[in-house]
Structure 1
Amino acid sequence: MYFRRSPRRSRTGVTLFSLAALLVSGCSAAGPTSSGGSTAVAALVALPQATPSALAPYYGQKLSWRDCGVPGFQCAGMKVPLDYAAPGAGDIRLAVARRKATGPGKRLGSLLVNPGGPGGSAVGYLQNYAGIGYPAGVRARYDMVAVDPRGVARSEPVECLDGRDMDTFTQTDTTPDNPREATELVDAYKGFAEGCGARSAKLLRHVSTVEAARDMDVLRAVLGDRRLTYVGASYGTFLGATYAGLFPDRVGRLVLDGAMDPSLPARRLNLDQTAGFETAFQSFAKDCVRRSDCPLGAKGTAPAEVGKNLKAFFRRLDAHPIPTGDPDHRKLGEALATTGVIAAMYDESTWEQLRQALTSAIKEKDGAGLLALSDGYYERDADGRYANLMAANAAVNCLDLPGAFSTPGQVREALPSFEKASPVFGEGLAWASLNCAYWPVRPTGEPHRIEAKGAAPIVVVGTTRDPATPYRWARSLARQLSSGRLLTYDGDGHTAYGRGSACIDAAIDAYLLHGTPPAKGKRCT
C-alpha cells in the first residue's frame, strides 16, 4: 500500500504542510505477527564510526548558499553518492534549505526536520510551516534545516506517470466486484510500475530509507554539527530511527512523532493501520452525530450505523459516480470519495469540512468537496499536475520491504481480516496492498528492530487515536530503542507536536532547548 500526505490546518485556519502516513507497500511472510515488536527479527547494525576514505569528498564539501526566493530562507545543493557501495559510480544532487537562528540566545546548532511520506518535500515543509511555525524559542536557537530525500520533490524526483495518466490511476476501482475489475486494478498497478521503471530506472534502486539516512549524516557533517538534532513525523520517524541505528554515537536530540514500528512486516503494518483509520472514523462518527448537520446519521446514531451509511454511499458511487464540476470532467466515484474521507481523518480540524463535503455529495449529488479533499491528499494542482509524492512513496516503500501480496487471490484470502479491522475502509486498503507485486526493482530491506545502543535519549511520541501510525507502534519503537523515552498524547489526529497540546509542546521544547527528555510515562491531553 502507500503512504500519503495530508494538509493540516492550524487553529487559525491557515493550511500548513504535514505528512501523514497511509499504508505501506510491502509485507514479508516472516517476522512478528503482533504489533508489540518481535525478537524474531534482527536488529539494524550500526556502521563503523570512522568515515570511509571514499566518502571523504562528500563529507568535506562546502555548500554554496543562495537566496531561495522565499524571504528568510537560503537554499543549496548537496552531492551524495548514488550508491554508497560504489561512491565513484555517480552522484545525486539533493536540495537543502535553511532558515538561520533568529536569536536571542546562544545558537544550539542545526535542527533538521522531515514531515514524512515517504515522498513529502521537507524543503516545502520547512518553508511553509516549520521555519515559521515552530515555537519562537526553538527557531531562535537553531538553524532550521531541511533536505528533500533522494527521489523526492527537488532532489532528483522519481517520475512515473503524467497528469492525465495519474488522473486515471487515482480513479481506478480498488474494491473490485468481479474478475474483470480485479484485472483492471492489476493492470493499473502494472502500468504505474512500468512507468516508474521506464522513467526512473537507475534511481529506483537507490531510494531506500537506509540510503536517505546516510545522506542525513553527510548533511550533518557539512553543516558542521557533531551530532544530529532532528524532528521527524510519521515516516520521518522511521527515517530518524534508522539514522539512530546506523549512527548511534552521532545522535543528538531526536524527536520521533507519530512513530512507526520497523520490526513489523508490512502486512501487519497495513492491518494495524487499517484498524487505526477505523478508530479515527469512530471518533469522527461520534462527533458527527452530535451535530445537526451530520449527513450520515441523526443524533444518537451508533458509530457502527454511521459506518454502514458511509459504506452504502460508497457503493452507490461505485455504481453511479456523481458530477464534481471539474474542468477535466472527472466524476466522484468510490475511489476518489474514499481518499477524500481518509484525508480528513488525519486532523480533527478537518472534520467540519468533511461533513460539508459529504452533505453536498449525499444530498445534492455534488462531489466537488470530496474531490478537493482527495486532490489535496494526492497533491494535484488546479492545472492537473501532480507532485511526485505518489511516485516517490511507492519507490521507497517497495524498496524497503517485499511486496505485500503476489496475486489477487492472496488479497481475497486476507479480506476478512482487513474488513474486520475496518468495515468501512478494509476492503479498499487490502487491495491497495497489491501494488508492489509488480514493482520493477527487487526490495533491499526486511523488517528489523532498531536498538541504537549507546545513543543519547530519543523521544518517541505516540497519539492514542492516531489513524496512520497507531499508538502501539510508538510503544514498540520506544521499547526497541535502548534510550527511547515514550511521550503519550491522549487525543485524535496524526502526530502531536504543534497540534494544540500545550503539554506536548512544552515537553518537546524543553527537550530540544535544554536536552531534558520527558519524564518516564508522561502523558498529555
Structure 2
Amino acid sequence: MTTRTLAALATAAAVALLTGCGIAAPPAPTMSAPAGLERFYSQQIDWADCEPEGMECSTVTAPIDWSNPDDGDISLAVVRLATDSPTRVGSLLMNPGGPGGSGVELVQQAAEFVTSDDLRDNFDIVGWDPRGVGQSTGVECYGPAEMDEFLYGVPANPAGSDAWYAEQVDREKAFAAACATNTGPLLGQIDVESNARDMDMLRAVLGDSKLNYLGFSYGTSFGAHYAELFPENVGRLVLDGAIDPSLPSSETFTVQMAGFENAFRAYIADCLSTTACPFVGDLEAALAQAGELFAGVEARALKSDDGRQLTASTLGTALAYPLYDEGSWPALSQMLTELGAGDATLALQFADAYNSRNDDGTYADQSMAVYTAATCLDGTYTGGLEATKATMAAIEAAAPTVGEYVSYGDWAHIDIACQNWAYPSAITPHAIVADGAAPILVLGTTNDPATPYAWAQAMADQLASGVLVTRAGEGHTAYGQGNDCIDTTVDDYLIDGTVPKADPLC
C-alpha cells in the first residue's frame, strides 16, 4: 500500500460541505531561473474561475525530463484558493500523498477541512496534480475492464502458493508492458526528484522566493528531496506522516506492514469493548479468530451483491482501507461481521474506494498505475521471485494477522512488477541531510499504520534542520485531525515562522 491512499482519507465525509472564497493574488515578481530552464520558470499563470466557488484553476508546462528539457513537455494542473489578507505570507503548496494523490482534488474538495481558518487567511492554498496524476499529463496502463481483471480477477491457484507466484509474473509482465506502451517516456520520469523539480518551478511561477509546503504521507518524500536539491529555496516545510528515505524497499514494506498490524491490534482492543464486535474473548483470542476468518475467505468463495468474488488480495485492500482512520473502525467491524456471515459486499466496496473504482466499473483515476510507476522508480527491486518470497516471509513474521493479505496486492505486486519495469530505478535509498535548509517540521503519529512513527523520527534525525513534532494517537498523519496542539504548532510555524524549541509531544 505504501502510502498511495490519500493522507486526507477522512475528508471524504466533508466533501459535500465545502466552498471556497478567494481573489487574485498580487502579480508575481520576476524570478531567476536555472540556465536553460528559463521558459519554464518565467511562465505566467493564467488563472480562471473554477468549481467550487472561489477557486481558480490553470495549467503550467514542465519538461518530461528535467535533464533534457527539449525532449518534450507535459502539462501540470494547478488550483488555488487565494487570500486578500494584508498579512498574506505567500503561497502554500500542498500534496496529499500517494504516489498518485491529486493535489487539485485535495484543495477543491477539502481545503476548508484540512487547513485552518488562520492558514487560509495568510496563504494562497495551492494544490497541483503531480506528473502522471489526475488532470496533469497522465500515466496510462489498462482500460477499465483490464484493470478490473488485474485487480479483482480470481487466480487459478491459492494465494501464496508457488503456482500463484508464477501466475503473478505473467500478470505483472503484461501490466508493465501495457504501462510502457500506453504512457511512453513520461513513465520513466515520475520519480520523486522530477516532482521536486516541478515544485521549484511552481514556486517561481507562483511568485515566491522560498517554498512553503505542507506535504502528507508520500508527499513528505517530495518535500525532503526538494530540501536536498534546493536547500537555499526552503521556506517553511511541514512533512506530515514522514517516510524514512534511507530504507531499502523491502524493509520499507516490512516496517509498514508492522504498522498495519499494530493498527489492527488497536482496532481489535477497541472492538472488544463494544457490543458490535464480531470477535470475543481477550485480545489474543480475537486475533486468532480474525486469522481463521481471513484464512478461510478464498475457500469459501464469498461474493458481493454484484457477483464479484473476494480474493485474498482484495481482502487485504479492504482491511487496509479503514485502518487509516480510527473513525472507520465501526465500519471495519461491520465488514468483518458480514464476512463471517458469508457476504463480501462491504469488503468489495472498501476495496473499490481504495482503488478509485466507480459503481459502473470505471475508474475515477489512474492512481494504481501512478502508484506502481512511481514506486518502481523510487526504489530498488532485484533478486527475482526468491527475493519477493523472502520479503513476504519477513512481512508475515512482522505482521502475522494482516500483513500477508495486505501484501498480496501490494509488496508482491510491486516487487514483481518493478523487476519487469521498462525503466530503471531513479532513486537509491539514502539519508537526506539537506545542509543549509531552514528549519523543517517533521510530524509523526505514534500509531500511524501507513507511515510508522519510527520513520518520522528517522527523517527528523537525518535532516540537518529537522524538528520532530509528535502526535500521540491512532490514524494516518497528524495535522487537521482534531489535535489542537498539533494544529497550533503547525499554524504558528507556517504563519509566523515559530519553530518549536522542543517536541511539544501533542
Superposition TM-score, scaled by structure 2 size = 0.91
**CA–CA separation in structure 1 for the residues paired with 2:16 and 2:386:** 41
Q: Deviations over 1:275-320 (max 9, x none)?
A: 111111110110111111111x22x422x33333222222222112
> What does residue 234 of structure 2 align with?
251
Q: Which segments of 5 or more consecutive residues in structure 1 lack a partner in the other structure?
A: 18-48
Alpha-carbon shift at residue 176 of structure 1 (Å)? 2.6
Alpha-carbon shift at residue 184 of structure 1 (Å)? 1.6
**CA–CA separation in structure 1 for the residues paired with 2:168 and 2:378:** 23
Query: Which of the residues 290, 297, 316 maps onto 1:338?
Result: 316
> What does residue 318 of structure 1 align with?
298
Alpha-carbon shift at residue 16 of structure 1 (Å)? 9.0
The answer to whether 1:362 aligns with 2:345 is: no
> What does residue 360 of structure 2 align with?
383
The answer to whether 1:374 aligns with 2:351 is: yes
**CA–CA separation in structure 1 for the residues paired with 2:207 and 2:160:** 57
- Residue 39 of structure 2: SS of its match in structure 1? helix
- Residue 5 of structure 1: SS of its match in structure 2? coil
The answer to whether 1:123 aligns with 2:104 is: yes
| Bigger mean CA offset, 438-447 vs 342-351 | 438-447
Alpha-carbon shift at residue 175 of structure 1 (Å)? 6.7
> What does residue 449 of structure 1 align with?
431
Alpha-carbon shift at residue 321 of structure 1 (Å)? 2.2
| Mapping of residues 259-278 of structure 1, within 5 Å | 259-278=242-261
The answer to whether 1:413 aligns with 2:379 is: no
| Mapping of residues 94-173 of structure 1, within 5 Å | 94-101=76-83, 103=85, 105-131=86-112, 133-171=114-152
**CA–CA separation in structure 1 for the residues paired with 2:144 and 2:2:** 19
Q: Deviations over 1:438-493 (max 9, x none)?
A: 11111121012211111111000011101111111111110111111000011111
Letter in 2 for 1:138: L
Superposition TM-score, scaled by structure 1 size = 0.88
The answer to whether 1:5 aligns with 2:10 is: no
| Mapping of residues 13-412 of structure 1, within 5 Å | 13-14=13-14, 51-101=33-83, 103=85, 105-131=86-112, 133-171=114-152, 176-295=159-278, 297-298=279-280, 300-302=281-283, 304-326=284-306, 329-363=307-341, 365-386=342-363, 387-403=365-381, 405-412=382-389
**CA–CA separation in structure 2 for the residues paired with 1:320 and 1:312:** 12
Alpha-carbon shift at residue 2 of structure 1 (Å)? 4.9
CA contact (8 A) 2:276 2:333 kept: yes
> What does residue 484 of structure 1 align with?
466
**CA–CA separation in structure 1 for the residues paired with 2:373 and 2:326:** 30
CA contact (8 A) 1:126 1:145 kept: yes
**CA–CA separation in structure 2 for the residues paired with 1:200 and 1:211:** 16
CA contact (8 A) 1:16 1:129 kept: no
**CA–CA separation in structure 2 for the residues paired with 1:357 and 1:15:** 23
- Residue 296 of structure 2: SS of its match in structure 1? helix
**CA–CA separation in structure 2 for the residues paired with 1:211 and 1:392:** 14
- Residue 87 of structure 1: SS of its match in structure 2? coil
Letter in 1 for 2:483: S
**CA–CA separation in structure 2 for the residues paired with 1:244 and 1:187:** 40
- Residue 301 of structure 2: SS of its match in structure 1? coil
Q: Deviations over 1:394-439 (max 9, x none)?
A: 1111111221x54222233334321110012333425344331111
Q: Deviations over 1:470-519 (max 9, x none)?
A: 11111111011111100001111100000111111111111111110223
Residues 236 and 414 of structure 1: CA distance in aligned 2, closer, same or farther (over 3 Å): closer
Alpha-carbon shift at residue 150 of structure 1 (Å)? 0.7
**CA–CA separation in structure 2 for the residues paired with 1:177 and 1:260:** 28
Query: Which of the residues 478, 481, 504 maps onto 1:496?
Result: 478
CA contact (8 A) 2:444 2:468 kept: yes
Letter in 2 for 1:392: V
What is the aligned-residue identity percentage? 40
> What does residue 424 of structure 1 align with?
401
**CA–CA separation in structure 2 for the residues paired with 1:449 and 1:252:** 21
CA contact (8 A) 2:435 2:465 kept: yes
**CA–CA separation in structure 2 for the residues paired with 1:416 and 1:16:** 43
Letter in 2 for 1:306: A
CA contact (8 A) 1:158 1:196 kept: yes
- Residue 96 of structure 1: SS of its match in structure 2? strand
- Residue 199 of structure 2: SS of its match in structure 1? helix
What is the root-mean-square deviation in Å for CA atoms of aligned residues? 2.0
**CA–CA separation in structure 2 for the residues paired with 1:438 and 1:395:** 11
**CA–CA separation in structure 2 for the residues paired with 1:177 and 1:132:** 41
CA contact (8 A) 1:102 1:139 kept: no
CA contact (8 A) 2:99 2:218 kept: yes
- Residue 494 of structure 2: SS of its match in structure 1? helix
Residues 2 and 506 of structure 1: CA distance in aligned 2, closer, same or farther (over 3 Å): closer
**CA–CA separation in structure 1 for the residues paired with 2:158 and 2:116:** 43
Alpha-carbon shift at residue 367 of structure 1 (Å)? 1.4
Letter in 1 for 2:271: C
Residues 400 and 354 of structure 1: CA distance in aligned 2, closer, same or farther (over 3 Å): same
Letter in 1 for 2:332: L
Q: Which segments of 5 or more consecutive residues in structure 2 lack a partner in the other structure?
A: 18-30
CA contact (8 A) 1:4 1:378 kept: no
CA contact (8 A) 2:14 2:113 kept: no
CA contact (8 A) 1:8 1:15 kept: no
Letter in 2 for 1:194: A
CA contact (8 A) 2:2 2:450 kept: no
**CA–CA separation in structure 1 for the residues paired with 2:16 and 2:371:** 20
| Bigger mean CA offset, 308-317 vs 244-253 | 308-317
**CA–CA separation in structure 1 for the residues paired with 2:169 and 2:300:** 22
CA contact (8 A) 1:321 1:334 kept: no
Residues 158 and 271 of structure 1: CA distance in aligned 2, closer, same or farther (over 3 Å): same
**CA–CA separation in structure 2 for the residues paired with 1:177 and 1:52:** 50
The structure 1 segments of at least 4 consecutive aligned residues displaced by more than 6 Å after TM superposition are none
Larger RCO (CA under 8 A, 6+ residues apart): 1
Q: Deviations over 1:247-268 (max 9, x none)?
A: 1111111000000011111111
